[in-house]
Amino acid sequence: MAAGRCLLPAIPLLALSFFAEFCNGGKVGVCYGRNADDLPTPDKVADLIQLHSIKYVRIYDANIQVLKAFANTGVELMVGIPNSDLLAISQFQSNADTWLKNNILPYYPATTITYITVGAEITESPINVSSLVVPAMTNVHNALKKVGLHKRIVVSSTHSLRVLSRSFPPSAGAFDSKYASFLKPMLEFLAEIQSPFMIDLYPYYAYRDSSGNVSLDYALFEPSSDVIDPNTGLVYTSMFDAQMDAIFFALMALNFRTLRVVVTETGWPNKGSAKETAATVDNAQSYNSNLIRHVINDTGTPAKPREEIDVYIFSLFNENRKPGLESERNWGLFYPDQTSIYSLDLTGKGKVDAVTGANISSSNGTWCVASANASEQDLKNALDWACGSGNVDCSAIQPSQPCFQPDTLASHASYAFNSYYQQNGVTDIACSFGGAGVRTTKDPSYDNCNYVTSGKVNNANSTAPLSTPSTAESSASSPGIDALFLLLLVLHLILFESLFVEIKFLGGCHLYSMADIL
């Protein structure tokens, strides 16, 4: 056996896709906050999340309606225990047992729960609860252990970047000594149960508060002047990576080198006050699009290249009851009516520009969508007209069709308005609808629902094949020819050792040649 390798039995070529799934990079989730009075019901939110292929969701409590709504969806939930509950759970094991019995066990495993976060950003809490966190985490973990779920549901706690006393240069990253009394025991506990350290990272705040020292492009993952760590010589092209490495170096300084780090909140606001000039839709789209691509591509950081990093984008909706500056209420990916604030491919698998490598989220054209300021009656009247006298093909927004979900008036009206707009000259008048329509340069398409541009109206959401293959074409893909092609391909791969396939095996990604596998 070669050093550092495990011998595998012969694997058919067609099975390689199975192994490829293990090396897909980090995961991207979304935070589902509910500090608002205008949000859709949890069951509609669960539908929206599935519609947009979101697989990982963080919630901040154990709300019964939310847990029920996600039953049998396959979405993996990170469930939170608020700081206000830490005292009771930390004092007695029986309280943790009861919390688990009442809040998790009735809904698990129909509702997939993978994490329980015990407390959130405790260093930011107006009431000092830091001494309660580790005892509470221990009790929750013990409660899970009693019912045999401690290896299926992971316990941790989330932190603000302010847990560091220094974050620049990244190699000087260090935890604040005033938090040592709870941090050291917590890190020891996390290492013991093999749980990740969780951190909330916001390059937006670092840029907003130090715009004279930090470039906007650097904060947005856009091409910018490189930042070099003078101690290590490592080159940083994004603030996110610099903040991540500051955490890694702080952990290494305390000899916790193997702890994984999960980013439980990050994002960019889509709107702000007059002084918050960087809080815009375009910047929010740029940051989150670049973040997703960075994570999905398994890029890692300069200090830990190829490190898998899981992130949760904050947040699903704008939340109108949050206090503070205007930006605090505008971090959402969606409006409360479930329409997208901007186009974002949350799977990271959208079309990619062959030259720049960037995900394509809009075309050079314009689209027409329902105005957020239009009344429900105006939208209904305009929708009825577009699908009637306006001669728009509205079959795509019928039940079971690609654009039916989300089943909202605004979403259906947006699809119909755009179809009419594209068919009638792409003019201001064609997008008027009595003030109910508004033009946008952001492609509102999502998943299998394609918002057409001029000249592509008829087949935008067609599920039928464009043409029927001829007899000759059909015979070219017969089983005999496929088998011969496959055999030749296998022989070719064996002869040319330069082609490698990544396989994650026993916790790590290693390079294996095709000859090793076959």
Determine the 3-state secondary structure of 252 from DSSP: helix
Which residues are bridge partners to 174 per DSSP?
Answer: 166
Task: Return the CATH superfamily for domain 28-334.
Answer: Glycosidases (3.20.20.80)
* Contacts (Cβ under 8 Å, ≥6 apart) of 260: 196, 197
Average pLDDT over residues 80-92: 97
**41-50, 174-183, 257-266, 504-513: lowest mean pLDDT where?**
504-513
pLDDT at 464 over 80: no
**21-25, 112-116, 496-500: lowest mean pLDDT where?**
496-500
Determine the 3-state secondary structure of 147 from DSSP: coil
Indicate the pTM of the whole model. 0.69
**In the chain, which residues fall in CATH 3.20.20.80?**
28-334
Distance of CA 173 to the CA centre of its chain: 26
How many Å apart are CA 85 and CA 78, to the nearest integer? 17
pLDDT given at position 456: 54
Distances (CA, A) of 28 to 129, 288, 295, 336: 30, 10, 7, 22
Of 76, 121, 188, 376, the active-site residue reads: 121
The verdict on whether 121 is a catalytic residue reads: yes
Beta strands in 227-305 (DSSP E): 227-228, 235-236, 261-266
CA neighbor of 29 nearest in space, from 112, 94, 121? 112
pLDDT at 297 over 70: yes
Give pLDDT tens digits for 304-341.
998 899 999 999 999 999 999 999 999 999 999 998 89
pLDDT at 213 over 90: no
Average pLDDT over residues 250-279: 96
Mean pLDDT of the chain: 82
Give pLDDT tens digits for 351-394.
333 333 333 333 347 889 999 888 999 899 899 988 987 888 99
The verdict on whether 473 is a catalytic residue reads: no
* % of residues, the chain, pLDDT over 70: 79
Of 188, 192, 265, 319, the active-site residue reads: 265
- Split at pLDDT 50, 70, 90, the class of 443 is confident
pLDDT given at position 193: 97
How many Å apart are CA 248 and CA 374, to the nearest integer? 48
- Split at pLDDT 50, 70, 90, the class of 343 is confident
pLDDT at 223 over 70: yes
Bridge-based pairing state of the strands 235-236 and 174-175: unpaired
CA neighbor of 35 nearest in space, from 324, 339, 357, 427? 324
Burial label, 335 (beta-carbon count in 10 A; 0-12, 13-18, 19+) = middle
- Split at pLDDT 50, 70, 90, the class of 487 is low
